[in-house]
Chains A and B, each alone.
Chain A
Amino acid sequence: MPIRQPEIECLNAEELKDMQGKLLSSQVKRMYENVVCFRGRMDEAGLKPDDIKCIEDIGKLPFSYKSDLRDYYPFGLFAVPMKNIVRTHASSGTTGKRIVVGYTAKDLDVWSDCIARMLTGIGVTDDDIVQVSFGYGLFTGGFGLHGGAEKVGATVIPMSSGNTALQIQTMADFGATVLCCTPSYAMHLGEEAKRMGMIDSLSLRIGIFGAEPWTEEMREKIEETLHIKAYDIYGLSEIMGPGVAEECEYQCGMHIWEDHFYPEIIDPDTCERLPDGSTGELVLTTLTKEGFPLIRYRTRDICRLNRTPCRCGRTHVRLMKPQGRTDDMLIIRGVNVFPSQIEEVLMHVSGNIITPNYQIIVDRVNHTDTLDVLVEMSRELFADNVKSVENLEKSITEQIRSALGLSPRVHLVNPNSIIRSEGKAKRVIDKREGKI
């Protein structure tokens, strides 16, 4: 398969390090001047931008956290004036408040470049028709893949998510050759196409799936059902969106584009940097991002980096599939969900006096993630009136849906019916296979 930017994608290790050092040092300077939060942390650590001369110096720099995005909501971490920001995206935070990210025109261009590198590397060209079935909107998925696909000159169908029958009809009628969506939705689309007797009307040959964890078994199943090759893509809104790391044709880990993103693996407890090949928390630094740069961002994803040479010839390190999280974040239908968001809704519903006991049950039924929330009935919530109890159920459902962007099924259950171990109710039960 062709390599889109061989002079960068195949750059030797020494030159790459040299390049990263220069980018880091200028990024730190710019952020020190423009981002109050970063300057404060540097000052606290007794660091000056001049202390950062090469990429090895990165270990001296302070970490940044998801909570920073909440604390400086909405635009407080941007490093350029708002007139230079041309796009915002947002995703869920750990509490009710969303986190917001911003891009300059150049940032959007880099984003498309990263995706275009992947697309070229797996054989997508201007002859392809790409159906983007990731959600369009504040979520980064849709627009991210869209930009990259246009960059390689492919024909884009900006389908967005939902309406499965129309998705399949469009894929067939427009002759889509590439499908981008969450892996669970790909499974669902495959099953439905089969049921509708339309599998043979499809021209798909490649699938790009991400935004939620999936297993090798799922990959095999999707490839078999849709008659495609399925590739993994990794990203997070805070850093850019999808395209931070992507698989090449050899499907053996996702190349992190190291000219834009510098990865480290740390021990999440001691915060010490771990040698290559160790499993730990992924920490990412944006080396070129203008609008919303982040230094040493704690992704909370547990994974491993692989520096052994890849058969494709690219020198950029490979990220092995994340193995879990250091926090309690769940990924449900591609949406990041923190149990604390649900807790906040329940607290509010009960008039901020007590939080009813609750349990979150996540499962995968017919390849689609399901979210059930059990809420224990209490004397405070009960009324001798079917309508008010039903309204309570509806109101909890609606408020969770609005907080998460995801519809739950809410069940009111008997008091003390949620099993407690050592006095504490188990808050989350994830029954999905291959979950992280």
Chain B
Amino acid sequence: MKIKQLSVFLENKPGQLCVMTKLLAENEINISAISLADTSGFGIVRMIVDDPEKAQSVLSDAGIIGMITEVSAIAMNDVPGGLSSVLNALSAAQVNVEYMYAFVSVRSGKALMVVQTDAIEKAESVFQSSDLHAISPSDIYRI
């Protein structure tokens, strides 16, 4: 299932993440998943939040740049080989993974994965035709 992800540009220096999370907290925005990619000079924070548009505008008002991108989200069994079978399917379809981050939903007992590929539509059809469980946006925005 395609879901909305919020990507945020932050300078790589102390306090940057803290300012961002504080703003989200003050505006009662919940983060269900987060990952941070860093370089020496800057970082890109990627998040799944319950209200991406509101989060983007709150950050933008504070001078923090965020953009909303579409990514795939899938659920797999939290057992050995769960991730491997997902990647097998993508690999067979010649889809390249750009980045991903995974977490476990305590409620459903499933491992959830957010994945960005170089061909999102193709990845989606791979997920649909395999026995992988796509997660609906409403599920993942509120985990």
Complex Cα distance, B46 from A384, in Å, reads 8
A415-B65 contact in complex given A377-B9, A386-B37, A389-B9, C-beta closer than 8 Å: yes
* A374-418 at interface with B (beta carbon < 8 Å): 377-379, 382-386, 389-390, 393, 411-417
A378-B65 contact in complex given A384-B7, A386-B44, A414-B11, C-beta closer than 8 Å: yes
Complex Cα distance, B39 from A379, in Å, reads 19
Q: Mark B89-109, 1 if CB is under 8 A from A, else 0.
A: 000000000100000000000
B14 beta carbon closer than 8 Å to chain A: no
Residues of A contacting B11 with CB < 8 Å? Answer: 411-414, 417
Partner among A384, A393, A411, A417 whose Cβ is within 8 Å of the Cβ of B44 = A384
Flag if B39 contacts A382 (CB, 8 Å): no
Complex Cα distance, B98 from A417, in Å, reads 30
Q: Mark B1-43, 1 if CB is under 8 A from A, else 0.
A: 0000101011100001000000000000000000001010110
Complex Cα distance, B44 from A412, in Å, reads 12
Give min CB distance, A145 to chain B, whole Å: 39
B83 beta carbon closer than 8 Å to chain A: no
Residues of B contacting A389 with CB < 8 Å? Answer: 9, 39, 42, 44
Give min CB distance, B6 to chain A, whole Å: 9
Flag if A390 contacts B9 (CB, 8 Å): no
B69 beta carbon closer than 8 Å to chain A: yes
Nearest A residue to B41 via CB reads: A411
Flag if A384 contacts B10 (CB, 8 Å): no
Complex Cα distance, B11 from A65, in Å, reads 42
Complex Cα distance, B70 from A211, in Å, reads 54
Give min CB distance, A127 to chain B, whole Å: 51
A414-B64 contact in complex given A382-B9, A385-B98, C-beta closer than 8 Å: yes
B67 beta carbon closer than 8 Å to chain A: yes
B63 beta carbon closer than 8 Å to chain A: yes
Nearest A residue to B19 via CB reads: A414
Nearest A residue to B38 via CB reads: A386
Give min CB distance, A38 to chain B, whole Å: 50
Give min CB distance, A374 to chain B, whole Å: 10
Complex Cα distance, B98 from A386, in Å, reads 10
Give min CB distance, B74 to chain A, whole Å: 19
Residues of B contacting A414 with CB < 8 Å? Answer: 9-11, 16, 63-65
Residues of A contacting B46 with CB < 8 Å? Answer: 384
Give min CB distance, B26 to chain A, whole Å: 18
Complex Cα distance, B63 from A389, in Å, reads 18
Nearest B residue to A413 via CB reads: B11
Residues of B contacting A411 with CB < 8 Å? Answer: 11, 41
Flag if B7 contacts A379 (CB, 8 Å): no
Flag if A412 contacts B41 (CB, 8 Å): yes
Complex Cα distance, B63 from A415, in Å, reads 6
Complex Cα distance, B9 from A223, in Å, reads 49
Residues of A contacting B41 with CB < 8 Å? Answer: 393, 411-412
Flag if B69 contacts A384 (CB, 8 Å): yes
Residues of B contacting A386 with CB < 8 Å? Answer: 37, 39, 44
Complex Cα distance, B62 from A416, in Å, reads 9
Complex Cα distance, B8 from A421, in Å, reads 27
Nearest A residue to B43 via CB reads: A386
Partner among B5, B16, B63, B65 whose Cβ is within 8 Å of the Cβ of A382 = B65
| Residues of chain B having any CB pair with chain A under 8 Å | 5, 7, 9-11, 16, 37, 39, 41-42, 44, 46, 63-65, 67, 69, 98, 116
Extra 6 A-B pairs, beta carbons < 8 Å, given A390-B39, A411-B11, A412-B42: A377-B42, A382-B65, A384-B5, A386-B44, A412-B41, A416-B63
Q: Which 10 A-B pairs have the closest CB atoms?
A: A384-B7, A416-B63, A384-B69, A415-B63, A377-B9, A386-B37, A382-B9, A382-B65, A414-B11, A412-B42
Offer 24 A-B interface pairs, CB within 8 angstroms, sorted by A: A377-B42, A377-B65, A379-B67, A382-B65, A382-B67, A384-B5, A384-B7, A384-B116, A385-B44, A386-B37, A386-B39, A389-B42, A389-B44, A390-B39, A393-B41, A412-B9, A412-B11, A412-B41, A412-B42, A414-B9, A414-B10, A414-B64, A416-B63, A417-B63
